[in-house]
Structure 1
Amino acid sequence: MKIWTKLFLVFFTLLVVVWSCSDDDSFWDAMIPETDKDPTTTQINGYVFKPALVPATDANVQQLKVPNGFKVNKFAENLGKPRILAVNPTGYVYASDRDAGTVTLLQDTNADGAADQTKVVANIKQVHGLAMRGNQLYMVAVRELYVADMNPDGTLGTPQLLLNDLPDAGQHPNRTIAFGPDDKLYITVGSTCNSCPEPNKENATILQANPDGSNRVVYAKGLRNTIGFGWHPQTGVLWGLDHGIDWLGDNDQKEEVNQIKQGANYGWPYIYGEGKYNPGDRPEGDTTYQQYLQKTTLPVLTYQAHAAPLQMVYYTGTKFPAEYQNDAFVAMRGSWNRSSPVGYSVVRLHFENGQPTRFEDFLTGFLVNNNKAHFARPVGLAVHPDGSLLLSDDTNGVIYRIAYQ
């Protein structure tokens, strides 16, 4: 009788454990074996849902939602597929178009909040990331880095090739660049795949180099695809938003906000989110998941899975209310690997005492027709010298302007 009592207690205890755990709990994560001696099995529901594309009509633009006191208008349109934005102190706006291989200069010469002059000023195959240093514009493609002088009228001199041996692109060809407070150039290099060990140590990293491209090193690794990044204006700390792994379900992997530190490993492809194991890839050699977790730097904050964060910019203008000062704006391009869409918006990332604390919707409404269609997928962000925020869309070819009245 005692044996049956013990068996019942064991069974009851296991039942309680199973009952109290969900698919996202650490109990289920622990079911993934540490080595190849045992099988790994998991079942995940994956979805593809791509909202239809509709025109950016005046009626659609007018129903966009922003906080009280803000207004949205088209700064420019019919631009092809504008991606990353950069603005110099005189108000010259530069937009890259990766598909066309162009950099376009836009000018609002009469200060009415809309560009009245546009001109292609550079032709570079697959150009994407833009960064300014003094009177020079840096431009990066998949494998090449260029620099050109900015003339007084905003046009560019002949681009000079600095690098031509950046890693191959694969799944993530969207290199972005920025200069840090140390006057070093930082280059983001995404992974070649959704989830896999990389043969090239420079993939899934942020690289650091001198302004002339020399002395290139891996600054941080284990970053699947960090496009939006930058140094907080008050603290000088580098923050970046990393894209999560696809095909882990509607709510995994969440997008990550990471404090980027030199020499740190952020876990991809083996560890993700708050320290979860990726069942699709096991650390190579004798390294266990637990050992890899111990050397992984985990995110400070997360956001909805598959929202796809792209360019990030800190607000340092003078026209928005004071509470916005030194917070960040992030363009969320929008999901495709999810049963219901998320993203398709601009969000505000609040900072308190130098730390990111929470996200808040800032510009929404690009999803229409009961979320079955969209008229923009946000990509680039830049703060204009007039204090407004510019946003690019690479589906209908529009740059939007958000201003405080």
Structure 2
Amino acid sequence: MLALVLVIAVSCKEGEDFWDSMIPETDKETTTAQVAGYVFRPALAPANEANERQLKVPSGFQVSKFAENMGQPRMMVVSSSGRVYVSDREAGTVTMLMDADGNGMAESSKVVATIKQVHGLSIYNGKIYMVAVNEVYVADMNGDGSLGQPKMLISDLPDGGQHPNRTIGFGPDGMMYLTVGSTCNACAEPNPENATILRANADGSNRKIYAKGLRNTIGFGWHPETGELWGLDHGIDWLGDNEQEEEVNQIKQGADYGWPYIYGNGKYNPADRPKGDTTYQQYLQKTTLPTLTYQAHSAPIGMVFYTGSQFPAEYKNDAFVAMRGSWNRSSPVGYKVVRLHFENGKPVRFDDFLTGFVIDNNRSHFGRLAGLAVHTDGSLLVSDDTNGVIYRISRQP
């Protein structure tokens, strides 16, 4: 466990509202802000039975281990036959898991692809698509679940920098969507494709920027009823314990979500001013603000809409989000799975769903969560890339 306190001082004129009055619209006046920043990384504890018993889910649910000793499992997809495919970016592998007897535990594990820094996965039209830092691949899925030789579709995605974890999905329009995070915490990116969501044809051609100003939207998906695209964006670090909050955004073509200059519900980032003669207010006018926000530094990773039939009916078409957990605040937040409620097709609130990974009075943890997938049996799978475990949440018999 590492703890560090950093104070950044940058000033502003006095006024009634800190963010409006202390950050001038242009650089003709002094900008000053004082921010208290922290590094706090809880120690890693084992995912043993004693710790697993501390996990909490809502009444009527249970949590168990679907697979363990998985290295650093990240993103997951499930085929129509119930085979689970898991990426491990550090190992550069995609592994297939199978629970043939339906007892809730995978009894077989096989590496089916080896691709350097592979991360995001998506199944579309009977093929599996895999994205690494710079490349997108597609492979045929054989009858036994093994994969054919991966074929490269894209080779020139932007370099990763601070956020190299690409994700991929296919929309109701049959188009490929790719997330490309920023190379930095907050900066003007020289490559316009960084801090965006890209859209391309299924064969990788005709790639264009779909939306921008998104610092790192790893988790995204289309609402099963409305077909609208939603994503969770990572907030800027080093703005304090409770800034910048994580954002829930409806992702629309051509929209700009403000990073790195505007964040939250219209706040100015004091360390990064819009370029040229553009004022903060002018940039704010063209910024699409979030629909909902969540505790800063929680680090949303995986997101999946629940379309299974095992959970109660009220869970249908809500989303689950894996909050990986903080490092840049004085006490840990995140380290959990939350339920994002949708009403009339719009997100309205969060509730805890799987908690208990932070132990020892917030000094240790035994899981930083990453990927989510709904299994064909309706259970929810959750990957932890620190202890190499995939958890399964199901209804109690």
Task: Give the TM interval when normalised to the shorter protein.
Answer: over 0.9
Q: Which residue of 2 aligns with 1:267?
A: 258
1:351-376 Cα offsets, whole Å, 9 max, x none, are 00000000000000000111110000
* Letter of the structure 1 residue corresponding to residue 88 of structure 2: D
Q: In structure 1, what is the equivalent of residue 124 of structure 2?
A: 133
Residues in 2 aligned to 1:30 and 1:186: alpha-carbon distance in whole angstroms: 39
For each residue in 1:40-81, what CA deviation from the matched residue of structure 2 results, as whole angstroms up to 9, or x when unmatched?
111100000000001000111122000001000000000000
- What secondary structure is seen at the aligned counterpart in 2 of 1:291? helix
Are residue 320 (structure 1) and residue 308 (structure 2) matched?
no
Q: Describe the SS at the equivalent of 1:49.
A: strand
Do structure 1's residue 123 and structure 2's residue 114 form an aligned pair?
Answer: yes
Matched, 1:348 2:339: yes
Aligned-pair CA distance for 1:173: 0.2
User: Size of the alignment, in residue pairs?
Assistant: 383
Aligned letter for 1:163? I
Q: Quick check: 2:154–2:204 contact (8 Å CA) kept in 1?
A: yes
* 1:361 aligned onto 2:365: no
1:306 Cα shift?
Answer: 0.2
Instruction: Pick one of 167, 170, 192 that aligns with 1:176.
Output: 167
Amino acid of the structure 2 residue aligned with 1:114: M
Shift in Å, 1:31? 1.7
- 2: CA distance between counterparts of 1:326 and 1:371? 33
Q: What SS is found at the alignment partner of 1:246?
A: coil
CA distance in 1, matches of 2:81, 2:61: 23
- Distance in 2, matches of 1:172 and 1:357, equals 28
Which 10-residue stretch deviates more, 37-46 or 327-336? Answer: 37-46
State yes or no: 1:398 paired with 2:389.
yes
After superposition, where does 1:145-224 map in structure 2 within 5 Å? 145-224=136-215
Q: Which residue of 2 aligns with 1:335?
A: 326
Q: Secondary structure at the match of 2:214?
A: coil
Match of 1:289 among 280, 294, 299: 280
Find the residue that maps to 2:37 and give its secondary structure: coil
Match of 1:280 in 2: 271
User: CA offsets per residue over residues 356-404 of structure 1, 9 Å max, x none?
Assistant: 0000000000001111100000100000000100000000000000001
CA distance in 2 between counterparts of 1:306 and 1:92 reads: 33
Partner of residue 6, structure 2: none
Structure 1 segments of 4 or more deviating over 2 A?
Answer: 26-30
Match of 1:88 in 2: 79
Displacement of 1:38 in angstroms is 1.5
CA contact (8 A) 2:19 2:268 kept: no
1:112-151 deviation per Cα after TM superposition (whole angstroms, max 9, x unaligned): 0000000000000000000011210000000000000011
Q: Deviations over 1:298-355 (max 9, x none)?
A: 0000000000000100001001000100000000000000000000000000000000
2:292 aligns to what?
Answer: 301
SS of 1:402's equivalent in the other structure is strand
Query: Percent sequence identity over matched residues?
Result: 73
Stretches of structure 2 that go unaligned for 5 or more consecutive residues are 1-13
Q: Specify the structure having the higher radius of gyration (Cα).
A: 1
- Please name the residue that 1:377 is paired with: 368
SS in structure 2 of the partner of residue 64 of structure 1: coil
SS at match of 1:343: coil
In structure 1, what is the Cα distance between the partners aligned to 2:20 and 2:334?
Answer: 27
Instruction: Report the Cα distance in structure 1 between the residues aligned to 2:377 and 2:95, rounded to whole angstroms.
Output: 20
Q: CA deviation at 1:27?
A: 4.5
3-state SS of paired residue (1:206)? strand
Q: Tell me, in whole angstroms, the C-alpha distance in 1 between the residues paired with 2:67 and 2:112.
A: 17
Please state how far the C-alpha of 1:29 moved relative to its aligned partner: 2.7
RMSD between aligned residues: 0.9
1:252 aligns with 2:243: yes
Distance 1:318 1:191 in 2: 37
Write the distance in 2 (CA, Å) between the matches of 1:381 and 1:329.
Answer: 8
Q: In 2, distance between residues paired with 1:91 and 1:30? A: 56
What displacement does 1:89 show? 1.0
Say which of 21, 28, 36 aligns to 2:27: 36
Per the TM alignment, residue 261 of structure 1 is displaced from its structure 2 partner at its CA by: 0.3
- Partner Cα distance (1:301, 1:135) in 2: 35
| Amino acid in the other structure paired with 1:145 | V
How far apart are 1:28 and its partner, in Å?
A: 3.7
Aligned mates of 1:204, 1:27 — CA distance in 2: 27
Look up the SS of the partner of 2:52 in the other structure: helix
Distance in 2 between the 1:340 and 1:192 partners?
26
Question: Which SS does the other structure have where 2:51 is aligned?
Answer: helix
TM superposition shift of 1:222: 0.1
How many angstroms does 1:30 deviate by?
Answer: 2.4
Structure 1: which 5+ runs fail to align? Answer: 1-16
Structure 1 residue 281 displacement after superposition: 0.3
Q: Alpha-carbon deviations, 1:265-308, whole Å to 9, x = none? A: 00000000010000000000000000000000000000000000
